[in-house]
Amino acid sequence: MLSWFAVPSALFIALLLGAVMMLVLGANPVTGYVALVTGAFGGSYALSSTAIQAVPLLLVGVGICIAFRANVFNIGGEGQIAMGGLAGAATALALPDLPSPVLIPLVLLAGAGGGAIWGAIPGVFKAKYNVNEILSTIMLNLVAVQVMNYLLAGPMVDQSPDSVGGLIPETKLLPPNSLLPILVKGTQLHLGVPIAVIVAICVYVLLWRTSFGFQIRSVGLSRSASAYAGMPVKRTITAAMTLSGAMCGLAGAILVFGSISHRMVTDGSLTGFTGSAGFNGIVVALFGGLNPLWTIVSAFFFGGLIVGGSSLQVATGVPSDLVTALSGIVVVLVVSLEYLRRRARAQSIALAGPRAASPPRLAHHDPPLTVKGGGGQ
Amino acid sequence: MNQFFTLDVLTVTVASGIALATPFLLAALGETIGQRSGVINLGVDGIMLLAAFATYYIALQTGNLLLAILAGAGTGTIMGIITALVSVTLKAEQGISGIGIYLFGLGFSALLFQKLVGTPLPIATLPPVGIPLLDEIPVVGGMFFKQSMLVYLAFLLVPVVAFVLNRTTYGLKIKAVGENPAAADSLGVSVARIRWSTVILGCTFAGLAGASLLLYGGIFQVNLTQSEGFIAVALVYFGAWRPVGVMGGSLLYGLVGVVILTWKSLGIIPLSASDLAATAPAVITVLALLFIARRFRQPAALGRPYEREG
Amino acid sequence: MHRHLDRKFSLILPAVLVALVAASCGGSSTPAPASSEPSASAPAAASSAPSPSAPAATTLKVALIAPSAVNDLAFTQSMVEALNSLKTKFNLEIAVSDNQFVVATAANVIRNYASQGYNLVIAHGSQYGSTIQQLAPQFPNVSFAWGTAGSTFNLPNVFAYQANSNEGGYVQGAMAALLSKSKVLGVIGPIAVGDAKLYVDGFCAGAKSVEASISCIPVYTGSFSDVSLMATAAKTFVANKADALTGSAQAVVGAIGVARSSNLPWFGTQWTQVSLAPQNVVSSQIYNWAPTLEQIITEIRGGKLGGAVYTLTLGNGGLQIQFNPDFKLAADVKAKVDTLIKGISDGTIKLP
């Protein structure tokens, strides 16, 4: 819950702007929005598509929650997703004969491990060498796309005769034991959906019910105060980035093992595999107020926007890029309106304290944090 | 490898490296100014996309490249006003609002392109202009002094920005606001006004970066920048918030990219290693930073909106 | 003041939102476009989808899923134009979803079309193949076509189509070698897979058939869409004395710009690229999918939903070398090229 003011107002303004854009482009906004909403939420198949679309968003979003709570900025989600997908696919292809109950957890863990490594690198670089994580995560995305293309077009490519025979970057057909089982017949709703939700709940518990989570949030609020209190600041930062990467890696593995195509496929770009979940997950986490539980709701909403965007395009001829532009507007409005609301509240409750100057303004709606020195610099 | 060390190949490699580095440099210089005053702008890539489209559209409609460049820069300025309003006045969380601006730019530029232009039509690229006398120097002339106007502009801006930051009152105010806004405020410096100016300036630079990128290839397409704006932000950290360092990073990134391409074209890098070789610019940039990063520290108030206490 | 504003807002906004939702629900009672969304009963439609061979079905519903824009002057446009050219003759109802470069999203779109009673779903990109392989058995009454590829996965309701783009590549490579004085050619691709690699390899084989010692080393930039990188690759070739250029990818427009500014001959593929460099494009290899589509549609009308692979070749007219009339090609070169095209078409010249 970011705010009952900012989110609906932002949505409302964005919807209006979107309607204006559609009108300018010669499309009927009512037709467009009806197509978007029914495409996303109308019926069991649409709902299941939305839920599946939401899974990578949710997991990346949860990973972002961890990183941002530690006040590190992870924009390497795209690369971490790809690495998770590759690690999971490689594991499944190496051990095709294991039974499902063993293989599925194994490939998901492998995916999380692949992402964790790709997240740990910027974590270690930041903690040990003071290399800014924005720089290293951006650069590691660029490395990941080429590693993915190298592996999928070379060592891991499907050369079997009844395939495209190495024409496109894709793995062999994954062993059926490794695929996430479909939960509702006639839809694509697979095991990945409940897994993602459970992981989100676990991360919530981790962040707010364990001492490690307390450590992460405390380091996020003030590194100096945490160090003063005897916490291992560097190790916490590395751990937060690693965990964040693991969440993205898990998202990659679920993308692979829950795919309609039963392979890891790309068109040669990161987006072709991830669908930009590494970026959109940041937006989703923000919408969830950096709280893993609310991120579940927010991921479902944005998943619906993406699924509905295709329907909007078919119904009105307006490219689904409109949805991308609108979600950008929503993000900008939410963070802007949030300030107006905070200021209004600060005026109404005469509680003007130093909180505004405290560093991690990412922390919007914390359950009370009892460490002293939040604003201590 | 011998083929690589011929004058012609070396000359074009360096010259292309400089040209390729230019959009990075412009965007990163703009970001440097903003970050020095304490504002992170992660929306650079989206602003570059919008500016590139504006440049493209005006060039298509009028055929006047100067007007097109101004349109690109102007688009940057307008986005700068929005960014400043959001980041400075409305005190939004900058990392996140920047992602919002990026998504808006990505989606909106794609939408406009598909609806206003549709099919890819080429426009004239910016011609190289030789600098009299200098361009006749053997080798060096071909490497450095036969570039387009925007390339010269970008590299001229490096000493200009350095001078403004280090030798003028305005520059001192920028740095004061970025390091300790409360202290600057108590000395009568308007934190908001300084940050508004740096953000608008920075985004105008990003607009120029979009224009230079567009006029290098001569055509627009959806997601033309391919995350170059994000790389530019990364290069600010590489350059440790110093214009010369940022220039070094941009050149390193551009040159490594061109050297790899050249080696591929000469068969020095085998086809099987083609993909892995393409990671070189990113890998080398990160590794280079491992050796220099520890000595520098970011502006103390970076990313933190300023609110007067009490 | 803000406080009052806020409170008013927070009261008004939900009300407005409710009104908006109500309005849009009201709107939905007006007939919405048939293709706007998968209906609630879509999952069940898999088995109950209208049979495409039913005699009453005079219009054939065709859906196209393509990776780039409908007007990309390349791969996607070639298919869209072919479909549109058959629209009235075969009474087609056409729906297009372009820019579907995210494979997972495309899979969902493909499934939606299949469940909405479309008779033919064309997945225009080899990256969609594995999706078709999994989906086609679930929709036995829907015909799927995909390419470029040579496999129907032994499924009765899948057609496959491919283009022997190496043939046109071979012809144009030979032409480039004949035009080149420096005997260095510049060849640019995205990543070394698929149609791009086929074309590029054909191009170099053709060039080497004319001049065994010619330098023809393809550069793959590692990206389908990085225009500047493609332009830079072209520049490095020019620096290395290359005096004829070609390339395959949507970002190749950057390289064509270099050909234009360096005034060097350019060879295009997939669709006519003359508009990008009117003085420099020598020829383009054009993909004409219309004959293939005609055959597929005729098969479907006849009740056969798949099982065949179609290949565009110079011989069957699916591939055409379109010369740019504004490029003055020497008569002896043109004659040699024509002989080559004829030889490849009738099979007397075998490609490696």
Q: Which domain holds residue B123?
A: 8-128+148-295
Q: Is residue A370 part of a domain?
A: no
pLDDT attached to residue A81: 97
Taking only the tens place, the pLDDT of each residue in B243-271 is 999 999 999 999 999 999 888 888 888 87
Q: Which pLDDT score, from 0 to 100, does residue B247 have?
A: 96
CATH number at residue A236: 1.10.3470
pLDDT band at B186 (very low <50, low <70, confident <90, very high): very high
Please classify residue B184 by burial: count the beta carbons closer than 10 Å to its beta carbon, then call 0-12 exposed, 13-18 middle and 19+ buried: buried
Q: pLDDT, tens digit, for every residue of A98-127?
A: 999 999 999 999 999 999 999 999 999 988
Question: Stretch B224-246: mean pLDDT, rounded?
Answer: 91
Beta carbons of A228 and A222 less than 8 angstroms apart: no
Q: Any idea which of C127-141, C222-236, C334-348 has the lowest mean pLDDT?
A: C222-236
pLDDT in tens, C2-31: 434 344 434 444 444 344 334 443 333 333
Residue A4: what pLDDT? 63
Number of domains in chain B: 1
Of A222-226, A238-242, B116-120, B228-232, the range with the lowest mean pLDDT is: B116-120
pLDDT of residue B92: 87
Check: CB of residue B29 under 8 Å from CB of residue B76.
no
Report yes or no: C147 at the A interface, CB cutoff 8 Å: no
pLDDT of residue B309: 66
Neighbours of chain B (3+ CB pairs under 8 A): A, C
ipTM value, please give it: 0.89
What was the pLDDT predicted at C21? 39
Tell me the nearest-neighbour CA distance from B213 into chain A, angstroms. 19
Q: Which residue of A has its CA nearest to C67?
A: A267
CATH code, domain with B72: 1.10.3470
- Enumerate the residues of chain A whose CB falls inside 8 A of the CB of residue B310: 352
Q: How far does Cα B38 stand from its chain's mean position?
A: 18
Residues of chain C with a CB closer than 8 angstroms to some CB in chain B: 69, 71-73, 77, 99, 186, 191-192, 217-223, 225-233, 235-241, 250-251, 253-254, 256-257, 260-261, 275-277
CA dist., res. A177 & res. A187, Å (int): 19
Structure tokens at B247: 């220039």
In the prediction, which pLDDT does B278 show? 86
A272 to C103: CB separation less than 8 angstroms, yes or no: yes
For CA atoms C85, C90, C96, C98, give the dihedral sign.
negative
Instruction: State which residue of chain B sits closest to C233, comparing Cα positions.
Output: B261
The residues near B265 (Cβ < 8 Å, ≥ 6 apart) are C186, C217, C219, C233, C236, C237, C240
Could you tell me which residue, A255 or C43, shows the higher pLDDT? A255
For B166-246, strand residue ranges (E) read none
Q: Confirm whether B118 is domain-assigned.
A: yes
Number of domains, chain A: 1
Rounded to an integer, the average pLDDT of B212-220 is 89
A255 vs C: CB within 8 A:
yes
pLDDT value of position A355: 42
Task: Evaluate whether A255 touches A87 at the Cβ level (below 8 Å).
Answer: no
Whether the predicted pLDDT of C57 surpasses 90: no
A window 41-100, beta carbon within 8 A of B: 73, 75
The verdict on residue A375 lying in a domain is no
**Which of C28, C93, C103 would best serve as a mutation to test chain A binding (most A beta carbons within 10 A)?**
C103
* Mean pLDDT score, B44-62: 96
Residue B178 CA to residue A295 CA, distance in Å, equals 33
HEC per residue, chain A: CCCCCHHHHHHHHHHHHHHHHHHHCCCCHHHHHHHHHHHHHCCHHHHHHHHHHHHHHHHHHHHHHHHHHCCCCCCCHHHHHHHHHHHHHHHHHHCCCCCHHHHHHHHHHHHHHHHHHHHHHHHHHHHHHCCCHHHHHHHHHHHHHHHHHHHHHCCCECCCCCCCCCCCCEECCCCHHHCCCECCCCCCCECHHHHHHHHHHHHHHHHHHCHHHHHHHHHHHCHHHHHHCCCCHHHHHHHHHHHHHHHHHHHHHHHHHCCCCCCCECCCCHHHHHCCHHHHHHHHHHHCCCCHHHHHHHHHHHHHHHHHHHHHHHHHCCCCHHHHHHHHHHHHHHHHHHHHHHHHHHHHCCCCCHHHHCCCCCCCCCCCCCCCCCCCC
| Cross-chain CB nearest to B282 (options A143, A336, A339) | A143
Token output for B30: 């703009």
Instruction: Provide the pLDDT for residue C228.
Output: 83
Residues linked to residue C247 through DSSP beta bridges, in sequence order: C188
Cα A199 to Cα A212: distance, rounded to the nearest angstrom: 16
pLDDT of residue C17: 39
Let me know if domain C165-279+319-346 sits in CATH 3.40.50.2300. yes
- Residues of chain A numbered 293-312 and touching chain B (CB < 8 Å): none
pLDDT confidence of C40, banded at 50, 70, 90? very low
Cβ of residue C135 closer than 8 Å to a chain A Cβ? yes
CB–CB contact B265 C275 (8 Å):
no
- pLDDT single digits (tens) B173-184: 999 999 999 999
- Report whether pLDDT(B150) > 90: yes
Output DSSP code: residue C61. Answer: E
Strand C266-270 to C309-312 pairing: unpaired
Q: Please spell the DSSP secondary structure of C240-294, one letter per residue.
A: TT---EEE-SGGGHHHHHHHHHHT--EEEEES--GGG-TTTEEEEEEE--HHHHH
Q: What percent of chain B stands above pLDDT 90?
A: 59
Q: Which of A27-31, B6-10, C267-271 shows the highest mean pLDDT?
A: A27-31
Alpha-carbon gap, residue B244 to B260, rounded angstroms:
24
Minimal Cβ distance to B9: which of C72, C240, C260: C240
Q: Which residues of B touch A286 (CB under 8 A)?
A: 93, 96
Q: Where are the domains of chain C?
A: 43-163+289-312, 165-279+319-346
Q: Do B298 and A132 count as a contact with CB atoms less than 8 A apart?
A: yes
**Average pLDDT by consecutive 10-residue portion of chain A (377 residues)?**
68 91 90 92 90 96 95 92 97 94 97 97 89 88 91 78 63 92 88 97 96 94 91 94 97 95 86 90 88 95 90 86 90 84 70 40 36 31
Residue B114 vs residues A115, B54, B109: alpha-carbon distances, Å: 35, 13, 9
Q: List pLDDT tens digits, range C84-123.
A: 999 999 999 999 998 888 888 899 899 989 998 899 999 9
A30: chain C residues, CB-CB within 8 Å: 23-24, 27
B271 near A CB under 8 A:
no
Q: Which of residues 152-211 of B touch A (CB under 8 A)?
A: none
Give dist(CA B70, CA B52) in Å, integer: 11
CA angle B44, B50, B55 (to 5 degrees): 120
Asked whether A277 and A81 are in contact (CB, 8 A), the reply is yes
Domain membership of residue A145 as a residue range: 6-357
**Any domain includes B305:** no
Contacts of B160 (CB under 8 A, 6+ apart): none
- Looking at domain C43-163+289-312, which CATH architecture does it have? 3-Layer(aba) Sandwich (3.40)
What mean pLDDT do residues C178-199 have? 88
Q: Which residues of C touch B222 (CB under 8 A)?
A: 69, 99, 225
Question: Of the candidates C10, C38, C197, which has its C-beta nearest A46's C-beta?
Answer: C38
Q: Which residues contact B309 (CB under 8 A, 6 or more apart)?
A: A354, A356, A357, B182
Residue A169 maps to a domain: yes
Q: Does residue A363 belong to any structural domain of this protein?
A: no
In a domain, A372, yes or no: no
Measure CB to CB from residue B221 to each of C227, C240, C277 and give the nearest one. C227
